Amino acid sequence: DIQMTQSPSSVSASVGDRVTITCRASQGISSWLAWYQQKPGKAPKLLIYAASSLQSGVPSRFSGSGSGTDFTLTISSLQPEDFATYYCQQANSFPQLTFGGGTKVEIK
Amino acid sequence: EVQLVETGGGLIQPGGSLRLSCAASGFTVSSNYMSWVRQAPGKGLEWVSVIYSGGSTYYADSVKGRFTISRDNSKNTLYLQMNSLRAEDTAVYYCARAGVYAILSWGQGTLVTVSS
C-alpha cells in the first residue's frame, strides 16, 4: 500500500504569509496527487489535481508542484479564509485512494 | 448544480447494521465513479469504497466483507450497506463523486456512531 506523509502536521502563520505544505509518497506516484482544504464541520474541497492543476474556482494564490514522491502545496499570500486543514491524496493506486494525515494552518 | 445529500447515519450497537443513502442531483450517478470516504472524529480522511459506472466495486481492506456499495439508477441514489459494525467504524461518512485523479464533489456527511 502507498503511504502519504504530510509535513508539518500544523503551522502557525499570519495573513499575507507564504505557506508551504509538503507531502511525500512511500513510492513513486507520477503526478497522481490531489490537494484538499477542509474547514471545521465541513466536507473537504478539491483545490489541486494532477499535482499542479488548479480546480475551477480556486484562487490562484494556491499552487501545487512535484512529481514522483515529493509534492508541495503553496499558498502565496495567506488570507483569513485559508485557515483550515489541508490534505494530500494519491490516486496512483486508483481506485484505492490514500490520504495524508493533514496539515492544520492556524492563525499566529 | 451538483448536489449530494447523505442520510441514514445514527447510533448503532456493535455488530449491528446500517444503510447509508446518498441522493444525487445535477448529474447521473450511474455515469460516474461514486465513492464513500469516512472521517473518524478528530482524524483524517479514509477512502472506503467505490462503484464504477460499469458496476465494478472496490473496498478498503478495513471494510471488505462487511460493507457493500450499490446504487439505484432509477432514484439516482448511492448506498452503503454496513454490517458487523465495530467501534472503529465510528465516523462521518461522505458520499463523493470521483474523477480519475481526485474527488470532485462531496456531500455534507452523515455521522455513524457505533457504541453500546
The pLDDT of residue A107 is: 87
The pLDDT of residue A89 is: 98
pLDDT exceeds cutoff 90 at A108: no
The residue count of chain B comes to: 116
B69 touches chain A (CB under 8 A): no
* Chain B residues close to A42, C-beta within 8 Å: 108
The pLDDT of residue B43 is: 96
Mean pLDDT of chain A: 96
- Cell numbers representing residue A9 in the block: 502536521
Provide the pairing of β-strand A10-13 with A62-67. unpaired
Can you name the residues that pair with A75 across neighbouring β-strands?
A19, A62
Chain B residue with minimum CA distance to A46: B104
CA distance B80 to B38: 12
CB contact under 8 A, A44 and B99: no
pLDDT digit string, tens, across residues A5-34? 999 999 999 999 999 999 999 999 999 999
Nearest alpha-carbon partner for B27 in B71, B92, B88: B71
- Measured CA to CA in angstroms, residue A92 lies from A37, A49, A105, B80 at distances of 20, 12, 27, 24
CB contact under 8 A, A44 and B106: yes
The pLDDT of residue A68 is: 97
Task: Please return the burial class of A81, using the count of CB atoms within 10 Å of its CB with bins 0-12, 13-18 and 19+.
Answer: exposed
CA distance A72 to A83: 17
CB contact under 8 A, B99 and A45: no
**Confidence grade of residue B103 (pLDDT, cut at 50, 70, 90):** very high
Per-residue pLDDT, averaged over A40-59, amounts to: 97
Residue from the list A45, A95, A102 with its beta carbon closest to the beta carbon of B44: A102
Can you name the residues that pair with A33 across neighbouring β-strands?
A90
* Chain A residues close to B100, C-beta within 8 Å: 91, 94
pLDDT digit string, tens, across residues B65-89? 999 999 999 999 999 999 999 999 9
pLDDT digit string, tens, across residues B8-59? 999 999 999 999 999 999 999 999 999 999 999 999 999 999 999 999 999 9
Residues 6+ apart with CB under 8 A from A49: A34, A55, B99, B101, B102
CA distance A90 to B17: 31
The pLDDT of residue B101 is: 82
